[in-house]
Amino acid sequence: MVKKHSIVMVAEGCMSGEACAKELTKYINVDARVSVLGHIQRGGSPSGADRVLASRMGGYAVDLLLQGKSAVGVGIRNNVLVDTPFDEIFKSNDHEFDYETFELTNELSI
Protein backbone atom coordinates (compact mmCIF):
# COMPACT_ATOMS: atom_id res chain seq x y z
CA MET A 1 0.00 0.00 0.00
CA VAL A 2 1.41 3.38 -1.01
CA LYS A 3 0.95 6.13 1.54
CA LYS A 4 0.85 9.72 0.46
CA HIS A 5 1.79 11.42 3.70
CA SER A 6 4.87 12.29 5.67
CA ILE A 7 5.77 13.38 9.14
CA VAL A 8 8.35 16.12 9.39
CA MET A 9 9.97 16.82 12.74
CA VAL A 10 11.54 20.21 13.40
CA ALA A 11 14.06 20.66 16.21
CA GLU A 12 13.41 23.49 18.63
CA GLY A 13 15.55 26.47 17.72
CA CYS A 14 15.83 25.45 14.07
CA MET A 15 12.61 27.14 12.96
CA SER A 16 9.04 27.12 14.14
CA GLY A 17 6.73 24.36 13.03
CA GLU A 18 4.48 27.00 11.50
CA ALA A 19 7.36 28.44 9.44
CA CYS A 20 8.32 24.96 8.24
CA ALA A 21 4.72 24.19 7.25
CA LYS A 22 4.50 27.48 5.37
CA GLU A 23 7.70 26.71 3.43
CA LEU A 24 6.54 23.19 2.59
CA THR A 25 3.21 24.50 1.36
CA LYS A 26 4.93 27.16 -0.73
CA TYR A 27 7.42 24.86 -2.44
CA ILE A 28 5.72 21.50 -2.79
CA ASN A 29 2.02 22.34 -2.62
CA VAL A 30 1.03 20.14 0.32
CA ASP A 31 -1.46 20.46 3.12
CA ALA A 32 0.89 20.89 6.08
CA ARG A 33 -0.42 20.85 9.64
CA VAL A 34 1.53 21.55 12.81
CA SER A 35 1.31 19.56 16.02
CA VAL A 36 3.42 20.06 19.13
CA LEU A 37 4.49 16.59 20.19
CA GLY A 38 4.66 17.44 23.89
CA HIS A 39 1.05 18.61 23.81
CA ILE A 40 -0.09 15.45 22.07
CA GLN A 41 1.84 13.14 24.40
CA ARG A 42 0.38 14.77 27.48
CA GLY A 43 -3.10 15.12 26.01
CA GLY A 44 -3.21 18.90 25.86
CA SER A 45 -1.39 21.98 27.00
CA PRO A 46 1.44 21.48 29.49
CA SER A 47 0.42 21.19 33.14
CA GLY A 48 2.19 22.95 35.98
CA ALA A 49 4.19 19.77 36.66
CA ASP A 50 5.19 19.60 32.98
CA ARG A 51 6.42 23.18 33.12
CA VAL A 52 8.38 22.60 36.34
CA LEU A 53 10.01 19.47 34.91
CA ALA A 54 10.89 21.32 31.69
CA SER A 55 12.42 24.15 33.72
CA ARG A 56 14.43 21.71 35.86
CA MET A 57 15.70 19.88 32.79
CA GLY A 58 16.51 23.13 31.00
CA GLY A 59 18.40 24.45 34.03
CA TYR A 60 20.29 21.17 34.28
CA ALA A 61 21.22 21.38 30.58
CA VAL A 62 22.56 24.91 31.07
CA ASP A 63 24.59 23.75 34.10
CA LEU A 64 26.09 20.98 31.96
CA LEU A 65 27.05 23.49 29.27
CA LEU A 66 28.69 25.72 31.87
CA GLN A 67 30.69 22.68 33.00
CA GLY A 68 31.87 22.21 29.42
CA LYS A 69 29.67 19.19 28.74
CA SER A 70 27.89 18.92 25.41
CA ALA A 71 26.49 16.23 23.10
CA VAL A 72 24.41 14.72 25.90
CA GLY A 73 20.73 14.01 26.33
CA VAL A 74 19.05 15.16 29.52
CA GLY A 75 16.45 12.96 31.14
CA ILE A 76 15.05 11.85 34.44
CA ARG A 77 15.61 8.44 36.02
CA ASN A 78 14.15 7.52 39.41
CA ASN A 79 13.18 11.17 39.88
CA VAL A 80 16.83 12.27 39.47
CA LEU A 81 18.05 14.39 36.57
CA VAL A 82 20.63 12.51 34.50
CA ASP A 83 22.71 13.15 31.41
CA THR A 84 23.74 10.50 28.91
CA PRO A 85 26.23 11.03 26.07
CA PHE A 86 24.59 10.86 22.63
CA ASP A 87 27.18 8.28 21.54
CA GLU A 88 26.05 5.97 24.34
CA ILE A 89 22.39 6.51 23.50
CA PHE A 90 22.76 5.84 19.78
CA LYS A 91 25.19 2.91 20.08
CA SER A 92 23.12 1.07 22.66
CA ASN A 93 21.78 -2.25 21.43
CA ASP A 94 19.55 -2.95 24.39
CA HIS A 95 16.46 -1.54 22.72
CA GLU A 96 13.96 -4.04 21.41
CA PHE A 97 11.85 -3.07 18.44
CA ASP A 98 8.14 -3.38 19.20
CA TYR A 99 6.77 -4.86 15.96
CA GLU A 100 3.22 -5.07 17.29
CA THR A 101 3.07 -1.33 18.01
CA PHE A 102 4.77 -0.62 14.68
CA GLU A 103 2.11 -2.61 12.81
CA LEU A 104 -0.67 -0.91 14.76
CA THR A 105 0.80 2.48 13.85
CA ASN A 106 0.80 1.51 10.17
CA GLU A 107 -2.79 0.31 10.37
CA LEU A 108 -4.00 3.47 12.11
CA SER A 109 -2.07 5.98 10.00
CA ILE A 110 -4.03 7.91 7.44
Q: What is the pLDDT of residues 43-90, one digit of tens each?
A: 667 788 888 998 999 999 999 999 999 999 999 999 999 999 988 887
Q: Which value, to the nearest 10 degrees, does the dihedral of the CA atoms of residues 31, 35, 37, 40 take?
A: -120
CA distance 22 to 92: 37
Q: Which residue has the higher pLDDT, 38 or 53?
A: 53
pLDDT in tens, 83-105: 999 888 878 777 677 888 888 87
Asked whether 71 and 86 are in contact (CB, 8 A), the reply is yes
Cα distance between the two ends of the chain: 12
Structural domain spans, the chain? 1-34, 46-108
Q: Which residue has the higher pLDDT, 13 or 22?
A: 22
Which of helix, strand or coil describes residue 82? strand
CA distance 25 to 28: 6
Q: Which pLDDT belongs to residue 50?
A: 82
pTM given for the model: 0.49
Q: Which pLDDT belongs to residue 85?
A: 92
